[in-house]
Amino acid sequence: MNVYDTANKLAGEIRSSEEFTKYKEAKNRINENPELKQKIDDFEKLRYDIQVLAMQGKEVEDEKNKKLQEMYTILIEQKEIKEYFDLEVKFNVMLADVNKIIAESVKDVL
């Protein structure tokens, strides 16, 4: 088996994992509800804007951080959104773990 076959097998394993399938189901439910989807999109846009500013080394206004936290607090009061966020975190942790394993295996040449 070559590395590409292994990568394709890993991709299939990820797609059939509980983390992926539950997250995808939750995402589909959110996408079917325009009101919930818009709320999450607004939250994600603000979070992205804050991350970009931070990566550029620019100071993020306290007001923006406060607004993001307030939005999150309001959003997770809705069971469906809280579940979506929780599943998103689990999926992202799995991906980060896989990336870490791969990075560890080649760290001596990077």
Domain boundaries 3-109, corresponding CATH code: 1.20.1500.10
pLDDT profile of the chain (110 residues), mean per 10: 93 98 98 96 96 90 93 96 97 97 93
What per-residue confidence (pLDDT) applies to 66? 95
What per-residue confidence (pLDDT) applies to 41? 97
What per-residue confidence (pLDDT) applies to 110? 83
What per-residue confidence (pLDDT) applies to 82? 97
Burial 79-97 (b: 16+ CB within 10 A, else e): eebebbbebeebbeebeee
Instruction: Tell me if 22 sits within 8 A of 92, measured CB to CB.
Output: no
What per-residue confidence (pLDDT) applies to 60? 85
